Structure 1
Amino acid sequence: MIESRRRLLRSTGSLALLLSAPGLVWGANIVAVRVWPATDYTRVTLESDVQLQARHFLMEDPPRVVIDIEGLELSPQLRELVGKVLPDDPYIAGIRIGQNQPRVVRLVIDLKQLVDPQVFTLPPVAAYNHRLVFDLFPTVAPDPLLALIREKEQAERQAQSAINDALGEFIDRMNRSPSVATAPTPAPAPAPLTPREPVDAKTKSKIDRLVIVALDPGHGGEDPGAIGPSGLKEKDVVLQIARKLRDHINAQPNMRAMMTRDADFFVPLHQRVEKARRVQADLFISIHADAFITPHARGASVFALSDRGATSTAARWLANKENAADLVGGANLRHNDAHVMRALLDMSTTAQINDSLKLGSEVLGQISRVGRLHKRRVEQAGFAVLKAPDIPSILVETAFISNPEEEAKLRDPRYQDELVDAMMSGIRRYFAKNPPLARNRQL
């Protein structure tokens, strides 16, 4: 009897030591925390070694989201979330963290406005472990088409104000010194780019409304895209290039660029297409800088959609890789409307593909003057992001970021400028030959 009790005590002691061992997985260990603020929505991500379970509810006066995460203890990594919130975050005023119950951590996200929260989990993929994601969307989504029109009107008002200020300054100087004729010194303003191709009167008469070009910088947020040998991230360099191209487009008379993302956040593939369709874009250009399995691949490429299979093995490989972006970036597939996604996959048209090939040919021809091409013709494959049924759409691979020499070129602002000039020239040449049609909703 005594011996059996001793054995029980020894086994109990061994169990106690085991349970207190640092390596024992009582629950989740937080690997990293991230906050991705953007005008569209703000994302909060908790990355852990096991899947987290969470419950959430909204409270008002003041507005906040309360999240209880089970199987978790406070840790230094988790507390880092408080300092991740930026002052200019459109939705989050701050985050508070506390041990609400044993093994239950409570997050309180103090809000600047009411939101529509989405909470979901993502399984391990690429370099990520398990992720618990909180997406905070505005309760009323802004109208992107109206935003473009207001942006254009504001730019016109600012330009007119600069002219008026310069004229007023000149008149004031003339009044002070009537005997001295002084030339006016208007404030400098960016001059519209002059088309290299002449546009005939018939074409000019057709371009009678705002022409919108949707620019889609690939990847973003949780999805870095390809990473070069020295650490340059695809998502960062394509955003820089897209911003420069946007400025060129906005400098054109009666043209405006809409960006699917203008900051470092993730946009699911089908939402990129939907954004372009919501503003009734005339063109859709997705910008990338991809990698290959060897560092020797080099050169720029242009791709259009295919409804008959890929034109090469490399094109098929690249399309499959780009179409997997939702898995890495973290799309809430349970929230997406399934029939909308199926429709986007099935609504491609022959006319759209033909127009896309024309656009791609013009852009590729101009890029060839800047640097080496990977392929000298527009390739085709089933890129999900190119499946807008009514918008000519191309995907531009600016260079192979996996090639050390091309990574250095992508980092060089001068090369970026040359590339953007070439893309802008291709866009102008396309419109000179294919004037945009009238919209149902005139601007």
Structure 2
Amino acid sequence: MIRTESLIKRLLLIVLLCIPSVAYSANKLEGVRIWAAPESTRVVFDLREPPKYSHFTLTSPYRLVVDLTTTATGLDLNKIENNSKLVKRVRISKPPKKGTLRLVIDLVKPAKANLFALSPTAPYGNRLVVDLEGGNQSPKTVKVEPEQKLRDIIVAIDAGHGGDDPGSIGPSGIYEKKVALQIAKKVEAKINATPGMRAIMTRSGDYFVNLNKRSEIARNSKADLLVSIHADAFTSPQPQGASVWVLSMRRANSEIGRWLEQKEKHSELLGGAGEIIQNADNEQYLAMTLLDMSMDRSMAISHNIAGDVLANLGKVTRLHKHKPEAASLAVLKSPDIPSILVETGFISNHKEERLLTQRDHQNNIANAVHKGVVRYFENNPPANTMMASKSGIKHKVTAGESLSVIAHRYQVSVDSIKKANKLKSNTLYIGQKLIIPRA
């Protein structure tokens, strides 16, 4: 009897000793992902439960220390994929107290850190996101072009999704973010090969860019157009065909349009800015923004370009709709930049998923987008661009004509004629051929 009581006491003691251990490790670190962008890096900690955390920075060497309370892990952090130029590595360090998991992010240089937790959003669970912006960056020099120089038409190419936002996933596991980037790069190359045009990419690798940031990149580059490349999806595998979307001041009136709007919100949740979308999704605020007169012009241009792109897509692939569709999509909401979203096909459809991974089909899609964009700008070139000068009216100078007379006849300025023809003076000679830029 005594031995039995003694054994029971020992068992109770073991159980009591184990209770604090269980309490200390109520949460678990299940994964670490590092997404590197050109000027920043995102580190994502995947957790079983919502994180309780604190952080601080250290110098000599530069480090960011993150303490996760009541958390444990069995991960080997040496096996994490890392192509960041800002983060050396992520490692575990001695905790300040029992039950705390101390993670150290070793940095190449000083960095501004922004940490926030995200609740589960398929395919991910609870997350702690660490956004790092490199410090001590030398200021970018903005090259000011001479006033008289004709400029290129600039097209911002936006590859949808990226990083911890895979976009839609095809039946065989193909990620939309990969297909979108492959096609976007092909469009970029074709734009850059076109005289008088230049492309800039909102993302050039596998990392996430906030939807508002995409428009900001286009604006900072003084883009004349933003083209966002995606691959569509739906709840059933039947829908197929490419489509082109423009901004709607109202919610989409088609089922697929509403699905697209929801998918965009889901992308922001995956990318780590869901709270921004939720707080900014205010119809009154949006209506005030869209009242800007420039929005009317941008929407009209967007619709015309969408029509040209759609006509060319119809020559190389099946179309879902033969007219541009409209939805309330954040990437299209910049009031001063015409913007279109090209859905290259339904990745949720078995046949189109296979097509979208084929180089020849991707090239055909990129050609169609390129031709549609070029066709629009050839017919409607912005003022003071090389394309405007090349597509202008040709005029042969006759006796008695001066620059002012010719300018008045065509309703353009004398300076614009001089710029288009690289004239250093107002002197003309009979028989001289001039290019008259579009008004």
Alignment TM-score, normalising by the size of structure 1: 0.76
1:403–1:145 CA distance, 2 compared to 1 (3 A): farther
Q: Does 1:291 align with 2:233?
A: yes
Map of 1:19 onto structure 2: 19
| Number of the residue aligned with 1:41 | 40
Farther-moved stretch of structure 1 (12-21 vs 380-389): 12-21
Q: Deviations over 1:253-280 (max 9, x none)?
A: 2322111111111111111111111112
Alignment CA distance shift 1:111-1:248 (3 Å): same
Specify whether residues 344 and 283 from structure 1 end up closer, same or farther in structure 2 by C-alpha distance, changes over 3 A only. Answer: farther
Q: Is the 8 A contact 2:24 2:100 kept in 1?
A: no
> Structure 1 residue 83 and structure 2 residue 29: aligned?
no
The one-letter code matched in structure 2 to 1:245 is V
Alignment of 1:186-201 (within 5 A): none
Query: Equivalent of 1:112, from 105, 108, 111?
Result: 108
SS in 1 for 2:158: strand
Q: Using the alignment, how far apart are the partners of 1:328 and 1:15 within structure 2? A: 40
CA distance in structure 1 between the partners assigned to 2:277 and 2:55 by the alignment: 16
Equivalence for 1:99: 94
Matches within 5 A, 1:172-191: none
**Distance apart, 1:57 and its partner CA:** 1.6
**Shift in alpha-carbon separation, 1:311–1:145, aligned structure 2, 3 A:** farther
The answer to whether the 8 A contact 2:234-2:259 is kept is: no
| Deviation, structure 1 residue 27 | 1.7
Could you give the per-residue CA deviations for residues 82-123 of structure 1, whole angstroms, max 9, x where no partner exists? 33253x522012233123131112222221121111111001
**Contact (CA 8 Å) 1:207, 1:435: kept in 2 or not?**
no
Pick the structure with greater CA Rg.
2
Aligned to 1:55: 54
Shift of 1:212: 1.3
The equivalent position to 2:124 in structure 1, one of 121, 128, 141, is: 128
Q: Kindly report which structure 2 residues correspond to 1:257-272, keeping only aligned pairs within 5 A, or say none.
A: 257-272=199-214
Percent identity, please.
40
Name the residue aligned to 2:155: 213
1:11-410 equivalent positions in 2, closer than 5 A? 12=12, 15-16=15-16, 19=19, 26-73=25-72, 75-77=73-75, 79-80=76-77, 82-86=78-82, 88-100=83-95, 101-139=97-135, 146=142, 208-331=150-273, 333=275, 346-348=288-290, 349-410=295-356
- Give the Cα–Cα distance (whole angstroms) in 2 for the partners of residues 335 and 274 of structure 1: 16
TM-score scaled by length of structure 2: 0.77
CA contact 1:287–1:398 (8 Å) conserved in 2: yes
CA distance in 2, matches of 1:21, 1:142: 48
Deviation at 1:329, TM superposition (A): 1.7
Distance 2:127 2:310 in 1: 39
Residue segments in structure 1 that go unaligned for 5+ positions in a row: 151-205
The question of whether the paired residues in 2 share the 8 Å contact of 1:311 and 1:379 is answered with: no
Distance 2:334 2:88 in 1: 37
Letter of the structure 1 residue corresponding to residue 42 of structure 2: R
Could you say which residue in structure 2 is the equivalent of 1:414?
Answer: 360
8 Å Cα contact 1:53/1:70 also seen in 2: yes
1:307-327 CA-to-partner distances (Å, cap 9, x unmatched) read: 144242322221232233111
Write the deviation string for residues 356-377 of structure 1: whole angstroms up to 9, x where unpaired: 1001001001000001000010
In 1, Cα distance between equivalents of 2:140 and 2:217: 8
- Report deviation, 1:386: 0.2
AA matched with 2:93: G
Question: What SS is found at the alignment partner of 2:345?
Answer: coil
Cα deviation, residue 437, structure 1 = 4.0
The more displaced of 267-276 and 389-398 is 267-276
Residue number in structure 1 paired with 2:409: none
Offset at residue 251 of structure 1 (A): 1.5
> 1:202 is matched with which residue?
none
* Residue type of the alignment partner of 1:422: A
> What RMSD over aligned residues (CA atoms) do the two structures have, in Å?
3.4
Q: Aligned partners of 1:207, 1:304: CA distance in 2, in Å? A: 32
Whether contact under 8 Å (1:347, 1:387) holds in the other structure is no
Q: Which amino acid aligns with 1:96?
A: R
What is the CA–CA distance in structure 2 between the aligned matches of 1:25 and 1:60, rounded to whole Å? 29
